[in-house]
Structure 1
Amino acid sequence: MITDPVFYAVAIPAVILLGLAKGGFSGLGMLSLPMMALVVSPVQAAAITLPILIVQDVVSVWAYRHAWDRRNVVILLLGAVSGIVTGYLLAAQVSDAAVKLAVGIISVAFALRRMVVERGGRQPKPAPADVPRGIFWGWVTGFTSMVAHAGGPPFQIYVMPQRLPRDIFVGTGAVLFALINWIKVPPYLALGQMTSENMATAGALFPVAIASTWAGVLLVRRVSGQRFYTAVYILLVLVGAKLIYDGVTALF
């Protein structure tokens, strides 16, 4: 287990952000991996994060167990499985920086466009949960989740235009990513990232992970549906900008 106090000084705030994201403030968790990568390698940070995400999934799925959209989960999962397999097969060839840059550009463009349209007084009709788009964005979600723990923005791009009720939106993401994170375990084992040191370190952070996820659930339920979507759009822009910065910095 990692015993360096500097690591925990960074890791604890990172896990709190993950918990708030799992509780419903989608996007905040994207800041966690870069924070942890300041004190350990990005690969080790991703390996420590995965068990923490799985524990937090238990809390968020329980909290939203009666509020999730089965059709969306099934459609997205069909694409996500193939995306995870693709990410595993291309793990050595794919540039994390290029993935982050692409996801960041798409996220910012999508969120800004939706904000401009809705602020202009035009409320687009809710989009249906259609299979072709769902499988495509599910593939992107699985792929980016596997290579960079960055599956949140693609999921939001597909689901947000449906204008689901707040709890259904959060619950659908909770169930989907709980399944995706378990599917990612065998590839991570095959890549040799689930070491005893990483698992023990993750275990030491479990209490913070659980408490912060419950805090996220309670805070989200105090926000109205309209304000919730506005907050998610803003977070998507900020996260997208961070991904663009990370991608450009790493590439150039």
Structure 2
Amino acid sequence: MTPTPFELAPQAWGLLLVAALLVGISKTALPGINTISIAIFAAVLPAKASTGALLLLLIVGDVFALVSYRREADWRSLLRLVPFAALGLGLGALFLAVTNDGSVRRVIGAILLLLIGVTLWQRWRPRAAATPPANAARVAARAGFGTLGGFTTMVANAGGPVMSLYFLSAKLPVATFLGTAAWFFAAINLAKLPISIGLGLITPATLELDLLLVPGVVAGAVLGRWIAARIRQRAFEWAVIAGTSLGALYLLLR
């Protein structure tokens, strides 16, 4: 159960405010760092309660991401992901209803590390050997990333690293990357909301807590816009890989 604001120690409030700031930055600049917020919330709050509390802040961050990048999305890629993401959401909701999420988070972490390895290999292999993937391979990648992204975001709000690697592999420019991710997660997080309420992950205490943390998300979103306007494409791509790696290690070691 989510503790009330008055039950949290000052140091816990400090950590949650940092996490809220990072949520805002992740939505408008560096998607991978959202996993740090996941870790902080899980450390301060009960595991399932942390999932519901963070979801509401992510939705606030989605609003700022859409305001900033709503015209930049790659709609063709986005619409093709929807059926697989919906399948992943359903599987994640079923999992949350029947079991705990400790072992699955470690599996997700291992999968992410494998995906990072593949991403790095693709970036470092000789250009002459690089050939465009076959259509079947593209469909398989879309199905795998979409389903895993939906599942991980439902179970642990950890879909960001998965989808970041997918969008990165599509070689999207910074603004297009952020715009496509903004629309994807805005839709996914809104779909998760009634499911989370039904599972008891969001309560009146959750709303009280998040209302006090929203200013941190707003400040982070503004700071993220400043960063995104100045970051270079290569630095952005490596920041995504680094953030995803941290997220994978967190999920493995938690």
Is the TM value for this pair above 0.5?
yes
The aligned residue for residue 154 of structure 1 is 162
Q: Shift of residue 125 of structure 1?
A: 5.5
Q: Please state whether the residue corresponding to 2:96 is helix, strand or coil.
A: coil
Q: Please state whether the residue corresponding to 2:44 is helix, strand or coil.
A: coil
Q: Shift of residue 96 of structure 1?
A: 1.8
The aligned residue for residue 231 of structure 1 is 239
The aligned residue for residue 12 of structure 1 is 17
Aligned runs of 1:1-252 on 2, under 5 Å?
1-3=4-6, 4=8, 5-119=10-124, 122=127, 124=130, 130-246=138-254
Paired residues, number: 246
Rounded to whole Å, the distance in 2 between the matches of 1:195 and 1:119 is 47
Rounded to whole Å, the distance in 2 between the matches of 1:23 and 1:81 is 24
How big is the alpha-carbon RMSD for the aligned residues of Structure 1 and Structure 2?
A: 2.1
Could you tell me whether the CA contact under 8 Å between 2:72 and 2:175 is conserved in 1? yes
Identity of aligned residues (%): 28
Where in structure 2 are there 5+ consecutive unaligned residues? none
Rounded to whole Å, the distance in 2 between the matches of 1:212 and 1:126 is 37
Q: Shift of residue 157 of structure 1?
A: 3.0
Could you tell me whether the CA contact under 8 Å between 1:75 and 1:131 is conserved in 2? no
More helix by share: 2
Which amino acid in 1 is paired with 2:22? L
Could you tell me whether the CA contact under 8 Å between 2:165 and 2:241 is conserved in 1? no
Q: Deviations over 1:181-211 (max 9, x none)?
A: 0000111111122211111111111111111
Which amino acid in 1 is paired with 2:17? I
Could you tell me whether the CA contact under 8 Å between 1:79 and 1:142 is conserved in 2? yes
Q: Shift of residue 33 of structure 1?
A: 2.2
Could you tell me whether the CA contact under 8 Å between 1:6 and 1:39 is conserved in 2? no
Q: Tell me the TM-score normalised to structure 1 length.
A: 0.89
Structure 1's 119 and 218: CA in aligned 2 closer, same or farther, altered over 3 A?
A: same
Rounded to whole Å, the distance in 2 between the matches of 1:192 and 1:221 is 39
Rounded to whole Å, the distance in 1 between the matches of 2:132 and 2:227 is 26
Rounded to whole Å, the distance in 2 between the matches of 1:222 and 1:19 is 17
Which amino acid in 2 is paired with 1:108? L
Which amino acid in 2 is paired with 1:44? A
Q: Shift of residue 153 of structure 1?
A: 2.1
Could you tell me whether the CA contact under 8 Å between 2:18 and 2:216 is conserved in 1? no
Where in structure 1 are there 5+ consecutive unaligned residues? 247-252
The answer to which of 110-119 and 169-178 deviates more is 110-119
The aligned residue for residue 250 of structure 1 is none
Rounded to whole Å, the distance in 2 between the matches of 1:98 and 1:149 is 16
Structure 1's 69 and 7: CA in aligned 2 closer, same or farther, altered over 3 A?
A: same
Could you tell me whether the CA contact under 8 Å between 2:53 and 2:206 is conserved in 1? yes
